[in-house]
Amino acid sequence: MTSSHNFDMLKQSLEDSVKASNKDMNEAKSGGMESAEIKAKAEGDLAMSSKDLAADTKQLAALEHDCKNKAADYDAEAASRAEELKALGEAKKVIQEATGGAEKQTYGLDQMSFMQRSRLSSSADLSHFEVVHLVQDLAKKENSAALAQLSSQIAAAIRYSAGDPFAKVKGLISDMISRLEATGSAEESHKKYCDEELKNTEEKKADKSGDVEKLSTKIDQMAAKSAHLKERASEHQKQLAAVAAAQAGMGKMRQSENAAYKTDKAELEQGIEGVQTALKVLRDYYGQASDSHDAAEGAGSGIIGLLEVVESDFTKGLAEMVSTEDAAASSYARATKENELETAEKSQDLKFESKEAAQLDKAVVEAKADRSGAQDELDANLEYLAKLKEQCTAKAEPYAERKARREAEITGLHQALEILEGHAALVQTRSVHRHQ
């Protein structure tokens, strides 16, 4: 019985050790699967980010290429324009030095009569005046309605001005130059504003887009982890319920076994006591030294022997019953202790998982609020960017072309002023000579 009991104890210990090892192995496998899942998700996020980075890098390279080409074109145009201005200056210098006499004979005011000089605005020669033609040609070349109107105003001023027509014409041209320069300054300021605003808005758009993407990824990760924790908590609740049910079943069985043990033990003890009493009576009876009992000693010995066997059987049965009860009580106590430990462990896990899941759910709500705010800012930024692009890039004529055309108009008008200054000086010189 002792060896059997020791064997049961050793077997139970080994089974408990195997059970604990299997539990550790299952937890390790579960942790490995969770790590693999997180790793796979992280690798997916990395692949997506790498793809976006490659696309952005490609777009940046294309943009840098376009900018370099445009810069090269601008440098080439600037160099060409400088060479053209240089050639025009040299041609102008040659014309001024070599054609002064011919210009005076052809266009000089002394070729006109005194009546023509006093009424410069009344003759048909003024319609072919060089300044009028220059402004008209410039208006046609640049397709400028403002310059066409200016040429008409200059012709009218020359024809109908009662005073000095040159001053009137110079005033008209100077006013037009001032308006063109003011317009150019305003457009240049507007372009600078557009460039800065577009750059800043694009940077804000990229920042907010990145914030929205990061928050979305964070929300997905926290929601997935919360769902996993809730699933584990639900499993632990089921396990706790199963342990409680098993403990309740063992308790009922132990009570039933103990009650049966008490009843059976009392019966055996009573039986042993009865057999022992009967043996005492028989031994006392057959032990008397009397001749009358000699004949019955043989039968008495058989009865006593039979009762002694019964007593032995009863005693052995009682010993086995006590041993079985002790083993059952010990096994119940050990199983109860294990269930208590398992219940405490799983209850602690359940408490931790429930608390962490609740914290994650709260963090998800806060992150969603942050993402909503970032999305609102991004939407407002996109709306402002669309309006800004419409305002800054929706013009039919590019700013560079408008600037070049305006500069050509201003240059032409300055040339007209130089011509007028030359004519005015000529008139003043001839007037002085005439008075002398």
Residue found by looking up tokens 């031994």 in the block? 283
Both tokens of 368, joined, read 């969603």
What kind and span of H or E run contains 360? helix 294-393
Same domain, 237 and 381: yes
Pair 413, 179: CB distance under 8 Å: no
Out of 136-140, 198-202, 253-257, 341-345, least confident range: 136-140
Burial class (CB in 10 A: 0-12, 13-18, 19+), 284: exposed
Pair 381, 205: CB distance under 8 Å: yes
- In 10 A of CB 227, how many CB atoms? 13
Residue 178 lies in a domain: no
What is the predicted pLDDT for the residue at 266? 92
Find the mean pLDDT for residues 40-67: 79
Both tokens of 396, joined, read 């039919």
Same domain, 251 and 387: yes
Nearest one of 167, 191, 150, 164 to 410, comparing CA atoms: 150
Out of 85-99, 271-285, 385-399, 403-417, least confident range: 85-99
Last residue of a domain, one of 61, 82, 97: 97
Same domain, 81 and 230: no
Find the mean pLDDT for residues 409-435: 57
Residue 4 lies in a domain: no
- Express each pLDDT in 351-394 by its tens digit: 998 999 999 999 999 999 999 998 998 899 888 888 888 777 65
Same domain, 227 and 374: yes
Comparison of pLDDT for 209 and 429, the residue scoring more? 209
Comparison of pLDDT for 81 and 115, the residue scoring more? 81
Comparison of pLDDT for 32 and 112, the residue scoring more? 32
Residue 30 lies in a domain: no
Residue found by looking up tokens 């402004």 in the block? 135
Last residue of a domain, one of 394, 409, 431: 394
- Express each pLDDT in 388-403 by its tens digit: 887 776 554 465 666 6
Is it the case that residue 69 has pLDDT exceeding 80?
no
Both tokens of 199, joined, read 């750059």
Residue 45 lies in a domain: no
Is it the case that residue 188 has pLDDT exceeding 50?
yes
Domain extent at residue 268: 223-287+295-394
Residue 345 lies in a domain: yes
Residue 135 lies in a domain: no
What is the predicted pLDDT for the residue at 84? 59
Q: What is the CATH number of the domain that holds 352?
A: 1.10.287
Same domain, 232 and 375: yes
What is the predicted pLDDT for the residue at 75? 74
Residue 382 lies in a domain: yes
Comparison of pLDDT for 148 and 216, the residue scoring more? 216
Pair 253, 412: CB distance under 8 Å: no
pTM above the 0.75 mark? no
Query: What is the rounded distance in angstroms from the CA atom of residue 245 to the CA atom of residue 317?
Result: 33
- In 10 A of CB 366, how many CB atoms? 12
What kind and span of H or E run contains 23? helix 2-98
The count of domains in the chain is 2
Last residue of a domain, one of 362, 377, 394: 394
CA 53 from chain center: how many Å? Answer: 14
Residue 70 lies in a domain: yes
Q: Taken in order 221, 224, 227, 232, is the CA torsion positive or negative?
A: negative
Q: Please report how many Cα atoms fall inside a 13 Å half-sphere around the Cα of residue 135, on the Cβ side.
A: 30
